[in-house]
Structure 1
Amino acid sequence: MTHGSVAAARLSLRGTDVPIGIYISSTDPTTTEIAAAAGLDFVMIDGEHGPLDRHLVLGHVRAAKAAGIVPIARMLEGSDTQIQALLDVGCAGVVVPKVETAADATRIVRASRYAPTGRRGMCPACHDGGYSVNGFRDRMTQRDRETLVIPIIETRKALDNIAEIAAVDGIDVIHFGPGDLSADMGLDLAIDLPVLRDAWVTVRDVCHAAGKALLVPDNMGFEGGDLYIWPMELMLLRSTLEAMMRDRAAGAQ
């Protein structure tokens, strides 16, 4: 990997050159165990559109760590308190929607870092803190160094400000979000992919020039990413079952 290689490697405990993950929206952490058993590198636990509160995210985090896969979480909104909550339950990183400016990016980095360099409150009495004050100071230093803060580029304003966002220290991975970006640009995701691919090339080239890694959906033809992610596991379950039913119906004819 040539761009953001250290950060990207944190999403691959298996040492994969191009890590691949999947969105997780089920309330049952079994799906995270299955993702690990299938050989994926990371899960993005979806607290934005999935019905997952902090307690349910913790279950997925525990399953991920037990199975040797990296847990990160997409949050509903990027408040300081929500960032702290997801990091305290043990997420290795946070994926923050609607980041549109360098000021937005700077704030979420500070929210993920302990004082005095950041604003994250310290508490050893949580999953991430190991429930002990012993060695917690070293743990704080390690987490400040390793936690991934991943903004989603999914609005026209963010696209206009991508160079400034990519330049923010502490942002090592950037997630290109074509779904909301298409809506914000007044496009139809199903038929306007060429326009979105042009936007993707802009984001990719600017971020790579800044030494940042790019996380991108795996199923839309966006080439040159450093990390890829598959659609939500429950959508894949439905599409698999539908394909099986079509095959069954065809065989019955």
Structure 2
Amino acid sequence: MFHNQFKRKLFDPAEDTTFGVFVGFPSTQVIEMAGYNHFDVAVIDNEHGMLTPENVEHMVIASELVRLTPLVRVVSSEPSEILKMMDRGAHGVHVPQVDTKEEAERVVQAVKYPPFGKRGAAFSMRAARYGTIPIHEYLSQANRESLVCVHLESTKAMENIEGILSVQGIDVVYIGPTDLSVSLGFGGRIDHPEVLKAIDKIHETARSYGVKVGIHTKDAKGAQARKAWGADYVCLTVTSLINQAFSQYIEQARLSKINQ
């Protein structure tokens, strides 16, 4: 069984903004490095990433070993997709493109066991320590500790925002500014006034329902800005970090050579 340190930190008023990294390629080593460098969360990206269920399970194990909370971004809100990732041992899910209240309810039901949900129960898999712990203890802790994060990133989601965020069991709403900008008709211009207005509306509505707010950014400067804005949870993609490090290194290395 697991203790969701990220969830506890999110809902502790004494804690500060939490930080995560999306990893979409199979690498336990990158997961370990994120943990050693004090990230709070690894979002194992099974939507856009090239990952098998086995890859996901290995990355979940690596996350736990370095005290990093492993969440999985699933392909969709289909219960079968969510079940596979939760059974691998994920501490929760990021679910993309949640556009209606009904979809949000389906997500919660897929993550939680009865009486709070409809998740299929199997006790031989990793999440239940392969059946080595009392079933009632596992079910209770799994329901308590699992985290549900839904992505609002479309025009349709904005139309249904009140209904989505009113669903009991939603812990975090996650904002993808790029997808949202495209859906709103602004083609990736995440700083367009209408996109920023929509982002602020999500933030305000979430606050009224007691839902925590996460948002994607591309660098530390953006993370600082969103922290000041009031985000509870900020992530970026690991390839953004790698590209920044590569670019900074080669630029500085060549400059130092020229100046010698």
Tell me whether the two structures share a fold, i.e. TM-score over 0.5.
Answer: yes
> Does 2:89 match 1:90?
yes
The answer (yes or no) to whether the contact 2:77–2:103 under 8 Å persists in 1 is no
Cα offsets for 1:168-216 (capped at 9, x unmatched): 0011111011111111111132464433221111000010011110011
Shift of 1:164: 1.1
AA at the equivalent of 1:232: T
Equivalent in the alignment of 1:3? none
Equivalent in the alignment of 2:238? 233
AA at the equivalent of 2:195: L
Shift of 1:12: 9.5
CA distance in structure 2 between the partners assigned to 1:251 and 1:12 by the alignment? 47
- Aligned residue runs from structure 1 range 80-119, under 5 A: 80-119=79-118
SS at match of 1:131: helix
Cα offsets for 1:103-141 (capped at 9, x unmatched): 110111111122344221111111101111541221111
Give every structure 1 segment of 4 or more consecutive aligned residues whose post-TM-superposition deviation is greater than 3 Å: 10-13, 190-194, 218-222
Which structure shows the bigger proportion of residues in helix conformation? 2
Equivalent in the alignment of 1:52? 51
Q: Which runs of 5+ in 1 are unaligned?
A: 1-5
Equivalent in the alignment of 2:76? 77
The count of corresponding residues between Structure 1 and Structure 2 is 246
- Aligned residue runs from structure 1 range 6-155, under 5 A: 8-9=7-8, 16-132=15-131, 134-155=133-154
AA at the equivalent of 1:174: V
- Aligned residue runs from structure 1 range 130-209, under 5 A: 130-132=129-131, 134-190=133-189, 192-209=191-208
Cα offsets for 1:84-119 (capped at 9, x unmatched): 110001111111111011111011111112234422
The answer (yes or no) to whether the contact 2:177–2:190 under 8 Å persists in 1 is no
The answer (yes or no) to whether the contact 2:10–2:212 under 8 Å persists in 1 is no
The answer (yes or no) to whether the contact 1:12–1:42 under 8 Å persists in 2 is no
The answer (yes or no) to whether the contact 2:10–2:232 under 8 Å persists in 1 is no
CA distance in structure 2 between the partners assigned to 1:74 and 1:174 by the alignment? 13
Cα offsets for 1:132-165 (capped at 9, x unmatched): 1541221111111221111100101101211111
AA at the equivalent of 1:228: V
The answer (yes or no) to whether the contact 1:8–1:213 under 8 Å persists in 2 is no
The answer (yes or no) to whether the contact 1:111–1:120 under 8 Å persists in 2 is yes
Equivalent in the alignment of 2:249? 244
Q: Greater relative contact order: 1 or 2 (C-alpha under 8 angstroms, separation 6 or more)?
A: 1
The answer (yes or no) to whether the contact 2:178–2:189 under 8 Å persists in 1 is no
CA distance in structure 2 between the partners assigned to 1:196 and 1:29 by the alignment? 35
RMSD over aligned Cα atoms: 2.1
SS at match of 1:99: coil
Q: Structure 1 residues 111, 16: closer, same or farther in 2, change over 3 A?
A: same
Q: Structure 1 residues 191, 70: closer, same or farther in 2, change over 3 A?
A: closer
CA distance in structure 2 between the partners assigned to 1:185 and 1:42 by the alignment? 29
AA at the equivalent of 1:249: R
CA distance in structure 2 between the partners assigned to 1:9 and 1:117 by the alignment? 20
AA at the equivalent of 2:232: D
Quote the sequence identity (%): 27
The answer (yes or no) to whether the contact 2:7–2:147 under 8 Å persists in 1 is no
Cα offsets for 1:46-66 (capped at 9, x unmatched): 101111121101011000111
SS at match of 1:72: strand
Q: Structure 1 residues 237, 161: closer, same or farther in 2, change over 3 A?
A: same
CA distance in structure 2 between the partners assigned to 1:224 and 1:238 by the alignment? 27
The answer (yes or no) to whether the contact 1:11–1:42 under 8 Å persists in 2 is no
Q: Which runs of 5+ in 2 are unaligned?
A: none
